[in-house]
Chains A and B, each alone.
Chain A
Amino acid sequence: MFAAKVIGRVVATRKWKTIEGIKLLLIQPTDWKGNPRGEPIVAADSVGAGAGEFVFYVKAREACFQWLKGNKQVLDEMPPFDATIMGIIDGVEINENL
């Protein structure tokens, strides 16, 4: 999981059925001190984050599982996401010179 800052919202009217009702946010990946790195990406929001918040997100296939209702990996229910916001960061303690 990696850190990012929420910089905006994405709205799409016509979308794949499994994405319906899920909030999409534009996030700028950052390092753990908040400095931006790389290009902004679109991520699904599972925690209710808002603009300007410092969040962490998961990439790849694991981004789809949060949205399943049951306890099984049902392929038909999995939305096609490649990034999902997993939590809002309250604080970070980091020391690279150990």
Chain B
Amino acid sequence: MKICKVIGNVWATRKHKCLLGLKLLLVRELDVETGTLKGETMLAVDKNVHAGIGNVVLVCDEGNSARMMLDNPVAGIRTVVCGIVDEVEEFKKVKRFH
């Protein structure tokens, strides 16, 4: 799992049925130590986590976990938001995100 920041959202009317009713968020990996963003911007699916722009979230980029979370064994989704990060502790340094 990755610690990412929500930097945007996407809306789409025509989409595959496995995405109906789900929120689509743009996330980018966060370097916790420096607070900078790195890597590619990915589109992640949010089901019942209710993350918004600016939140630091936990993102799972793996298909089987995504299918289990979405309760659909044939969903074509591999990136899901699975939590909102409150704080990260690294070498006794605590970083709070909200």
Size class of the B contact interface (CB-based, 8 Å): 20 to 34
* A73 proximal to B (CB < 8 A): yes
- Contacting residues, chain A, for B40 (C-beta < 8 A): 2
Closest CB in chain B relative to A85 CB, distance in Å: 9
Closest CB in chain B relative to A29 CB, distance in Å: 10
Which residues of B in the span 2-31 have a Cβ within 8 Å of any Cβ on A?
5, 7-16, 18-19, 24, 26, 28
For the complex, would chain A's binding face be called helix, strand, loop or mixed by DSSP majority?
loop
Size class of the A contact interface (CB-based, 8 Å): 35 or more
Docked pose: A56 CA to B24 CA in angstroms: 11
- Contacting residues, chain A, for B75 (C-beta < 8 A): 62, 65
Residue of A nearest to B5 (CB): A98
Residue contact A86 to B41, C-beta cutoff 8 Å: no
**B→A interface (CB under 8 Å):** 5, 7-16, 18-19, 24, 26, 28, 37, 40-44, 53-54, 63, 66, 72-79
